[in-house]
A and B are shown apart, each in its own frame.
Chain A
Amino acid sequence: MSILVIAEHDNAALKPAVLNAVTAAVELAGHAGGDVHLLVAGENAGAVASEAAQIAGVAKVLHADGAEYGHGLAENLAPLVVKLASGYSHVIAAATSFGKNVLPRAAALLDVQPVSDISAVESADTFVRPIYAGNAMATVRSTDSVKLVTIRGTAFDAAAAEGGSAAVESTDSAGDTGLSRFLGQELTKSERPELTTAGIVISGGRGMQSGDNFAMLEKVADKLGAAIGASRAAVDAGFVPNDYQVGQTGKVVAPDLYLAIGISGAIQHLAGMKDSKVIVAINKDEEAPIFQVADYGLVADLFQAVPELEAALDG
């Protein structure tokens, strides 16, 4: 039995979280035996299948092609996963908005209770996952014959994107359910790295006072090659769009360096960033809870400190 990874992509390229899922799959294969296979279901996504075949640790790429897979609709992907699942001990996906949408639907069709957002593999059937926004860690054992699992990308290193030479095999479509149609998307345009995979993240909170003031963070981000994030308070105040949100209800990040600017450090925000390697907090309130998790805290007015920081980075 092997491990099947459902690959997320946009028909042109794989999403970075696939590499983290492959690492989790390789780890699972170490416990359960078997190979790691990747499912690329898309529309004219041959280039993605070729890219997937290069990933170190992947033994086979299953490529399903059809217009019904053009936009990652769960209604069409789930039956395809069900068709393939009997040959696998585990079916996994990264816990992105794509993976969270598709995997539970497939699990229900297989009469399996999926395990969401695991942060560690203990054995072939036992996993660790955060509950209560990361305020507790549950160790759980699945008794289902095939295990469907989503993995927390920040908890597993990215597999090498090159070095593999997997065979690409075509697999038949499971058809179009016709239940839903993709109309369009409005993706946030940014030249900066993606929030969940960036090595450095700089986030602003309510203390930023306005969306315009985020321009200060952008200048620092440009110098550091950082992604920009925000607390839920900043998003709720309308400073920045929701996809900037780091936290329990937003994105989970674990960069090498996380700069929290004008963020008080609500539990819900900490849940999304406390696994960062180094945390810096700049806040004028020295009692702010963010200082309890920060490696380096600076009690200062951010409107002075951030431009100073930007200037100091030139040095």
Chain B
Amino acid sequence: MKVLVPIKRVIDANVKVRVKADESGVELTNVKMAMNPFCEIAVEEAVRLKEAGTASEVIVVSAGITQSQETLRTGLAMGADRAILIQTDVALEPLAIAKLLKAVVDKEEPGLLLLGKQAIDGDNNQTAQMVSALLGWSQATFASKVAVDGDKLNVTREVDGGLENVNLNMPAVVSVDLRLNEPRYASLPNIMKAKKKPLETVTPEDLGVDVTPRVETVKVSEPPARQAGVKVASVAELVEKLKNEAKVI
């Protein structure tokens, strides 16, 4: 079984993002970029499936600008076998990405798609559900445990009240949550090896997909700032203020 892992290049999770002065977006120039943390978990899970003999091949795919190659190389260094870059300068929305991924799936015919539950830039949490819909496949979002059982997939999902277990027909689309695994760091030899692994580049036109955005960004602004309040000297003073000043207890 092939496993396809769509991954995204985003601002590094440790960087404090800054809104541009003209409110057109956030500052991306000279900002450290990295693989979306949830995507790392998806790559890790796919590589573990291969190490366990369940997956035959792991393919990482990313859609975006030329520099997304770096993110794909990171995926290859973690253990993916080959990479596909869908190259475009258009700022892609999840619907467009889902259509692009469907076109790749139609060609590659994987048995499983593993994706991060959301990217930490747009925080949309949509792509897995949307590509699953377009493919007419089963879906399990927010996975904290994934086990292949013959031609079925058992997934434990993180839901609001706790955990939920579902059984999916394969092929399936799974979006992964934080507790699924602890992604490995790529070793230097594997980083070197990754440079020689195949990386194919295609365009949305090659795949016959219209990626015109449907949602226009009017502006991006700073969130309302919260002012620091006062320091209290004791628990007694705290309780007094909560009762008589804030009136919340």
* Residues of A bordering B, CB below 8 Å: 73-75, 78, 96-98, 100-109, 111-117, 126, 130-144, 178-188, 194, 196, 200, 224, 232, 241-243, 248-249, 251, 256-257, 267, 274, 277-280, 291-300, 305, 308-309, 312-313, 315
Contact = CB atoms under 8 A, between A and B. Distances in A.
Interface string B25-47: 01000000000000000000000
A140 B130 contact: no
28 contacts: A96-B160, A103-B129, A104-B94, A104-B133, A105-B130, A108-B130, A114-B95, A114-B126, A131-B26, A132-B120, A132-B121, A140-B217, A179-B136, A181-B167, A183-B167, A184-B165, A188-B161, A241-B162, A243-B159, A248-B123, A267-B16, A294-B228, A296-B232, A296-B241, A296-B246, A297-B228, A297-B230, A313-B239
A241 B159 CA distance: 12
A85 to B, nearest CB: 13
Contact of A136 (B17, B93, B130, B236): B17
Contacts of A312: 235-236, 239
A144 B214 contact: yes
Contact of A101 (B122, B141, B165, B232): B141
Contacts of A257: 242, 246, 248-249
B166 A182 contact: yes
Contact of A298 (B130, B226, B235): B235
B249 A313 contact: yes
B125 interface: yes
A137 B235 contact: no
Interface residues of B, number: 77
A117 B122 CA distance: 11
A143 B217 CA distance: 11
Nearest to A250: B178
Q: Is the interface of A mostly helix, strand, loop or mixed?
A: mixed
A103 B107 CA distance: 27
A66 B120 CA distance: 37
A88 to B, nearest CB: 17
Interface in B141-177: 141-142, 144, 154, 157-169, 177
B164 A185 contact: yes
A142 B215 contact: yes
Interface string B223-241: 1001011111111101101
B95 A136 contact: no
A140 B25 CA distance: 12
Contacts of A134: 223
Contact of B226 (A293, A296, A305): A293
Contacts of B242: 257, 278, 280, 296
B202 interface: no
B197 interface: no
Contacts of A73: 166
A257 to B, nearest CB: 4
B222 A242 contact: no
B239 A292 contact: no
Contacts of B138: 75, 179-180
